[in-house]
Amino acid sequence: MKKYIAILLLIPNILFAQNDLSLLQAIEIGMWSNFDIQISSRNQDINRVNNNWASAGALPTLNIGVKREEALSDQSNNPASFIQEKLRSTSYNGNANVSWTLFNGFAIRANKKKLDNLQKISDNNASLTIENTIQGIILQYYNCILQKDRLELLQKVVNLSKNRLDYEQTKYDIGVTNKIDLLQIENAMLTDSSNIILQELNFKNAVKNLNLTIGRDINSRWNFIDKIDTTIQIFNYKELARNTLSDNTNIKNQYYNIQLSKQDIKLTLAPFYPIISINSGASFNESTYDIGNLSSTIDNTGENINYFANFSINFRIFDGGKLYRNLRSVKIQKQIFELELEKIKKEVLYQLSVNNDKYNSRINAYSLNQKAFKIAEENFKLATEKKNRGVINSFMLRDIEIAYITSGINAQQSAYNLMESKLSLLKISGNITRDFNMLKND
């Protein structure tokens, strides 16, 4: 029994004697190594590459082609042929063609603005990924601290129980106490030791989740040097609401979707206008003929060069009403996006209100739980002294000990809940990245 307890007492030293890791370091590691951020960054690169005037159709198209042809026709045994020889020919063909659409109903400009908006959406999605990653890292980092603090609390209780068990064993050996008290203390120690094993697993899983998010080996171990941020910040709700409507990433994305639908309307209107384009080019051909013995008597090489230039205007007169149907469809789609924007605004403001109320409630809950824990800790100390003096029995002490453990867990959880609510407010209002940058500069 004592050997088993001694192993449990070594658990914190085994777990925590690792590399130091602060919250800021965890976030910085995640910014470089998180796979979602890397994927989002590649999507940004794709949209940046595609966002140019060439993709919008503003630049001309130039094609150049070169071809060589060899041909052989054996007419030496053909009595019907005028020239009974082996006829060989070699030709070289080259051509260049330039096509340029000068005007297509403002579609080029609409395409470019659409590419601009697609890039903004990509950038905004990257920002959303960063926000979610920062929030996830902070929550998981503090969850590791929460699980570690719980483990230390249970370890502290087991350590005290071990000393108390040794003391009661000595008293029992000399006949001062009874077997019931000794067994009660030993049973409590076994129960708490079992809880330590489960809590150790919770802590290890929390660390693995953090490692997965920051892109490190899941078995990496850290010494978490920061404490849970319990700084109480009083928010102005009206200011939070204004920031939310202007900076919330989901609202921004929906706004860009509306801008895309506006460009879709312009693109749908483009066929109602004429399409003006030019097409010009040149071709060169050189052919050499080998007609046997006759090659020396005639010129067997021919060349020709052709130039052309076309200017065209195309205007669609009627297509069975397809353009009008498409126009009505994209206009309806724009209305849908506008309705979804209003819906998202209301949903985000609702979430803001709920989280603001939750945060304010958790401020009070955190304060009360901290006070309750201090009282439970003092009561536990007094009860331990009374048990040593024989004023109370082991059953009463165990009840007070359980209340101390429960109160400690509640105090730790309330600190985590307070931080989580504040983080949710920062996330919804679009300020989580700004606060991280302020922390980094500090």
- CATH (domain of 149): 1.20.1600.10
> What is the C-alpha separation between 25 and 223, in angstroms, rounded?
12
Q: Which amino acid is at 426?
A: L
Chain-centroid distance of CA 268 in Å reads 34
Structural domain span for residue 81: 62-99+281-314
Same domain? 217 vs 297: no
Q: Is 153 left (phi over 0), alpha (psi -120 to 50) or beta?
A: alpha
Same domain? 109 vs 171: yes
> What is the per-residue pLDDT for 440?
53
Same domain? 331 vs 427: yes
**Inter-CA distances, 25 with 28, 222, 432, Å:** 5, 11, 16
Same domain? 30 vs 114: yes
Same domain? 392 vs 360: yes
Hey, is 318 helix, strand or coil?
coil
Same domain? 139 vs 216: yes
- Residue that is last in its domain, among 264, 297, 314: 314
Q: What pairs with residue 99 in β-bridges?
A: 61, 279
> What is the C-alpha separation between 371 and 358, in angstroms, rounded?
20
Same domain? 8 vs 67: no
pLDDT tens per residue across all 442 residues of the chain: 444 334 444 444 444 446 899 999 999 898 888 888 888 888 888 888 888 888 888 888 888 888 877 766 666 666 655 555 666 667 778 888 888 888 887 888 888 898 898 888 888 888 888 888 999 999 999 999 999 999 999 888 888 777 776 666 666 667 666 677 777 777 777 888 888 899 999 999 999 999 999 989 999 999 999 999 888 888 899 999 998 998 888 899 899 999 989 898 888 888 888 888 888 888 877 776 665 555 555 556 667 788 878 888 888 887 778 888 888 999 999 999 999 999 999 999 999 999 999 999 999 999 999 999 999 999 988 988 887 777 877 778 788 888 888 899 999 999 999 999 999 999 898 888 766 554 555 5
Same domain? 174 vs 229: yes
> What is the C-alpha separation between 40 and 7, in angstroms, rounded?
46
- Residue that is last in its domain, among 290, 314, 338: 314
Same domain? 91 vs 215: no
CA nearest to 261, candidates 338, 344, 342: 338
Q: Which amino acid is at 97?
A: N
DSSP state of 229: -
Same domain? 190 vs 138: yes
Same domain? 159 vs 129: yes
> What is the C-alpha separation between 238 and 391, in angstroms, rounded?
57
How many domains does the chain contain in total? 2
> What is the per-residue pLDDT for 286?
76
What CATH number should be reported for the domain holding residue 287?
2.20.200
Same domain? 22 vs 161: yes
The reported pTM is 0.77
